[in-house]
Amino acid sequence: MDIWYFVDERGRSPVREFIDGLSLDEQAKVFAYIDELGKQGHNLRRPLADYVKDGIYELRPKSNRLFYFFFLKESVVFVHAIKKKTNEIPEKDIALSLKRKKYIEKYRMNMLKEEYDEK
């Protein structure tokens, strides 16, 4: 699977910035989970990943949550990321993920960056 990252109108990639802000150990865990997602795609399940709502999934490395959806069959697009602090995912984070998903589906690849350059 190809891995893509949402890019906002200012050219920023919130998910990539989130990953950059993690400790090296957390980054290694995130990249291991992303690699597994790339291998297993739709077949990746708990405890590594879970379905959230309306086509949005979450990658679950420790307390970090990276929200993504499947796009054009062979692509994964990461749209949002948070440090989870409660049992429930805040509705505002789900809403933002869905908003970005709909935007990408409408305007296609213009709002994506290629795979993350691992450090």
pLDDT per position as a tens digit, 81-95: 999 999 899 999 999
pLDDT digits (tens, 9 = 90+) for 28-79: 999 999 999 999 999 999 999 999 999 999 999 999 999 999 998 889 999 9
Distance from C-alpha of 64 to C-alpha of 85, rounded to nearest angstrom: 9
d(CA 118, CA 63): 21
DSSP 20: H
Judged against a pLDDT cut of 50, whether residue 116 lies above it is answered with: no
Confidence label for 112 from pLDDT (cuts 50, 70 and 90):
low
What phi, psi does 14 have (nearest 5°)? Answer: -55, -40
Q: What is the pTM of this model?
A: 0.89
Do 79 and 104 touch, CB atoms closer than 8 A?
Answer: yes
Q: For domain 2-113, give the fold.
A: YaeB-like fold (3.30.2310)
